[in-house]
Structure 1
Amino acid sequence: MAHFTVIGLGRFGITASLELIHMGHSVTGVDCSEKIATQYAEELTQTVICDSTDERALKELSLSESEAVLVAIGEDMEASLLTTLHLKNLGVKHLWVKANNAAHHTILSKLGVSKIIHPEEEMGIRVAQALNYPMVSDYIAIGHGYYVVEIEVIERIDNMSLGELLNDKIHIIESLLVKREQDLFPKPNDKFILHSGDILLLCGTRAVLKSLAPRLV
């Protein structure tokens, strides 16, 4: 598994760190607060007390061993930007940074980081999508207007074939996978019979997937 460094152990940073640990990775957590670093010392692979706005201090972290570095500093935009600039100067290639507002995002984009994250906005969008399309358990935007959605098959379409469900959209929606308890059925064809409780992964444009929604509720 990979090793990651997370700078800033607030709610967002520690949540990301613990999830990476849960997935089997190792994580060095970095925070300027001794209290916070000590609090999570038992849960992370390693915690380091460090002022990340000090480039000399960052040099001591062996960042070259990390698959990626996540800057998860909270409301202190100046500290976030200084940290990001120092990490770029130190040659960190895979650099993800949490942005707190539009101005923060604009400056980060000029620094050429790998990924800018807006956790509150992104979660707000996901919640809105879930409220609007309750049949969609989860979704991933894959670019160019295409999405992969996870749908639980309801009782009303039990024993319906995939072809019957998709009907006229069979050629414009890609069926990626059906998960049935512990069994996986990749690339199911139009004759595949769906059972209530199946998890169906579909790929298509937002407009096409949205037009399918009435058949799934």
Structure 2
Amino acid sequence: MAQFAVIGLGRFGGSASLELMSLGHQVIGLDSCEKFVARVADKLSYAAIIDATDEDALRELNIGQCDAVLVAIGENLEASILCVLHLKNLGINNIWVKASSKSHHSILSKLGVSRIIHPEEEMGIRVAQALNYPMVNQYMALGHNIYLVEIEIIEKLQGQTLAQLLKDASAFVHGFLVKRRKDVFSPVPADFVLEAHDTLVLAGPLTVLKSLAPRLI
């Protein structure tokens, strides 16, 4: 179990803090808006109304002990940047920040935060991928054009082996795991026989994974 601080409890920060709690972590939720704090206060480990641009107020909360801090302040660019500067002054290194614009991103990159998040853009990309490849439930970019994709095996593919499913793409795409009800099989050998409703996770270049799409529907 880890401990996180989420600064900014609007729609994005509130959702992130509640999801972290559901994953079994401790979460400190902070916001200057009483309404936002009240909405999640009874669901978090600790919640407080605070001005995140006040370094002394942040220091009193001892959030330097957290494994990571997520700065999810909305459109207030100045407040977001000041908050990050204060966190840096407090010796916090693992800082994730929601960016609201390109200029915001540019400033944050110069401040050396751990990760810059663009929720709307990232969700837009996910929605586009889901529309383009409805058979893909989830996907994750691993860098260098390598992706993990999660696919549900449909009825017409039942009885095929992994090798038959991949065919000429088997040199580039690999079976990462198969989830069948409560059982998980990993790694997945070439002769593994697939069943309808199996969840198959594949790893490989995006271009090759795209070429497999027609045979999966």
Report the TM-score, using the length of structure 1 for normalisation.
0.98
2:175 is aligned with 1:192? no
Amino acid at match of 1:202: L
Amino acid at match of 1:115: R
For residues 10 and 34 of structure 1, the distance between their equivalents in structure 2, rounded to whole angstroms, comes to 11
**More deviation in 68-77 or 48-57?**
48-57
Any gaps of 5 or more consecutive residues in structure 2? Answer: none
Aligned-pair identity in percent equals 57
> Which residue of the partner structure matches residue 132 of structure 2?
132
> Which residue of the partner structure matches residue 146 of structure 2?
146
Amino acid at match of 1:152: E
Conserved 8 A contact 2:138-2:151: yes
1:77 CA drift (Å): 0.8
2:201 is aligned with 1:201? yes
* Deviation per residue, 1:37-85 (Å, 9 max, x gap): 2332211110011111011111111112211000000111111111011
> Which residue of the partner structure matches residue 98 of structure 2?
98
1:1-217 alignment to 2 at 5 Å?
Answer: 1-217=1-217
Conserved 8 A contact 2:64-2:90: no
For residues 36 and 201 of structure 1, the distance between their equivalents in structure 2, rounded to whole angstroms, comes to 38
For residues 159 and 212 of structure 1, the distance between their equivalents in structure 2, rounded to whole angstroms, comes to 18
Partner SS, residue 149 of structure 1: strand
**More deviation in 25-34 or 119-128?**
25-34
For residues 203 and 161 of structure 1, the distance between their equivalents in structure 2, rounded to whole angstroms, comes to 17
For residues 52 and 170 of structure 1, the distance between their equivalents in structure 2, rounded to whole angstroms, comes to 51
Partner SS, residue 41 of structure 1: helix
Partner SS, residue 141 of structure 1: strand
1:36 CA drift (Å): 2.5
1:90 CA drift (Å): 1.2
Partner SS, residue 156 of structure 2: helix
Partner SS, residue 138 of structure 2: strand
1:168 CA drift (Å): 1.1
* Deviation per residue, 1:104-162 (Å, 9 max, x gap): 10110000000000000000000000000111000000111100000000111111111
For residues 38 and 193 of structure 1, the distance between their equivalents in structure 2, rounded to whole angstroms, comes to 51
* Deviating 4+ runs (over 4 angstroms): none
Report the TM-score, using the length of structure 2 for normalisation.
0.98
Partner SS, residue 59 of structure 1: helix
**More deviation in 54-63 or 108-117?**
54-63
Partner SS, residue 100 of structure 1: coil
Any gaps of 5 or more consecutive residues in structure 1? Answer: none
For residues 188 and 203 of structure 1, the distance between their equivalents in structure 2, rounded to whole angstroms, comes to 11
